[in-house]
Amino acid sequence: MKVNFETALGSYRIQRFPLRAQQPLQAWDAADELLLNTLVAEYSERLKSTESRVLLVNDQFGALATALRAQRPDCWSDSTMSHAATEFNLHENVDSVDAGKYGFTAISSVSDLNGYYDLVLIKVPKTLALLEQQLTMLSGHITESTLVIAGGMTKHIHNSTVGLFETLVGPTRTSRATKKARLIFSEPKLNDADSPAPHLIESRYQCEPLHAELISYANGFSRERLDIGARAMLQALDKYPIPMGNNIADFGCGNGVLGLYALQKRLSQPAARVASASAAVSISFIDESYMAIAAAQKNFERLHGGLSVESEILQPDSSQQAANDEFDSVAEIDDGAKLEYEAKAEHSGDQYINVAFVAQEGIAAKKHKRYDWILCNPPFHIGNTTDTSVAKRMFQQSFQALQRNGQLWVVANRHLDYPDTIQSLFKNHQIIFSNTKFVVILAVKK
């Protein structure tokens, strides 16, 4: 696959994350090219000063940030993977002698922005709710002289998309399509009324099996109702004996529904009640989306009460990022982008639940913390195409992260070949639940 991103600003080597030997997909699209080429052709004065404040929104693998690296842009995204890819790609395109001149700041989608921007480039996300969330929060950080340009593939730009810019930014026009991409130009019109306090828009549904209402944020998976795959996993949890180890992970947790239900089951077992403090049940909620982790945390607190924080980690800890050590100086992470957060919640009497919320692509195989039980409802799309490579990578990582005799439970569409993939990794598997659409696969690490 092509890795040279040719633009009017220069040519850059940009790769997708996770890195793969045979990557079929490119790490940028025609909208990235159109955004940069239009900037150079029509607004080059905006790029003259390195003092001007630049915000990039939803820059998927850092193609825009790499091209605009001299402006040290703020990169605001819901994806920890996008931030990691931006760091990697910037590194790939900067000589170590020049490293001090360039950089970016990773800002998570759940963090507010600071101050005012001169230039804002937005990649239109597929989810309208995420765009609404971002434009609402952005409105307090632009002035009438801010240049706001959004870019996207025409199939993702609808009247409703343009309508959001009209309502939340100001008068808006669109460009002609070039290579199936289009730009949206929006002139900020400041509202005299006090702008509403920035907040995260919540969706809610009643999750009957949990007997609780769950919330999700704008980019959350299945925000309005319990996903039918997740429901199949909850049914498997009702029917099949659960493992009794203490260390549980909800991998790709979304709003945390699988982990919360598994925890409820685990805590109702007699062994959980007699556990000593040091053998308390631990659960990790892991997702590459900051909004997923924020929702899982909020749902956990709603079900289990307040948390007392044990530790917070802002720096990445994955092998991919470890390879970028020398590059630390050019990637800053804002305080809101907590990558790992460990806490305790009171369970009953002097019993505690240890809980970790980890915003990270993949599950790390840590020597001191291997899991007894990993639950996973993996994604099987990249964009609009079926792609099982992410799920397969999640199974490989789960195998590494499990204890001996630890169990992986996966819910999947029946038509996917996951039982075979899991069999070849674990050398065993069984189907513990099935309905017309889904199977739940259990594999044990021997």
Q: Which stretches of the chain bind ligand SAM, using CB under 6 A?
A: 221-222, 227, 230, 252-254, 257-258, 286-289, 292, 361-362, 377, 379, 390, 394
CB of 428 to ligand SAM, least distance (A): 24
Spatial strand order of the sheet with 142-153 comes to 172-174, 181-186, 142-153, 117-123, 54-57, 74-77, 104-108, 331-333
Nearer to ligand SAM, 361 or 372 (CB): 361
CB of 215 to ligand SAM, least distance (A): 13
CB of 78 to ligand SAM, least distance (A): 9
Beta pairing class for 117-123 and 104-108: unpaired
Nearer to ligand SAM, 117 or 221 (CB): 221
Nearer to ligand SAM, 84 or 138 (CB): 84
CB of 373 to ligand SAM, least distance (A): 14
Nearer to ligand SAM, 288 or 372 (CB): 288
Dihedral angle sign, alpha carbons of residues 36, 39, 42, 48: negative
d(CA 99, CA 103): 8
18 touches 119 (CB < 8 A): no
Partner residues linked to 333 by β-bridges? 106
Residues contacting residue 90 through CB under 8 Å, at least 6 positions apart: 62, 65, 66, 69, 102, 103, 104, 327, 330, 331
CB of 59 to ligand SAM, least distance (A): 17
Beta pairing class for 331-333 and 104-108: parallel
Nearer to ligand SAM, 57 or 390 (CB): 390
CB of 362 to ligand SAM, least distance (A): 5
Nearer to ligand SAM, 33 or 288 (CB): 288
Spatial strand order of the sheet with 352-359 comes to 307-313, 340-346, 352-359, 282-287, 247-251, 371-376, 402-413, 438-444, 430-434
Nearer to ligand SAM, 62 or 362 (CB): 362
CB atoms within 10 A of CB 116: 13
CB of 122 to ligand SAM, least distance (A): 20
Dihedral angle sign, alpha carbons of residues 136, 141, 142, 146: negative
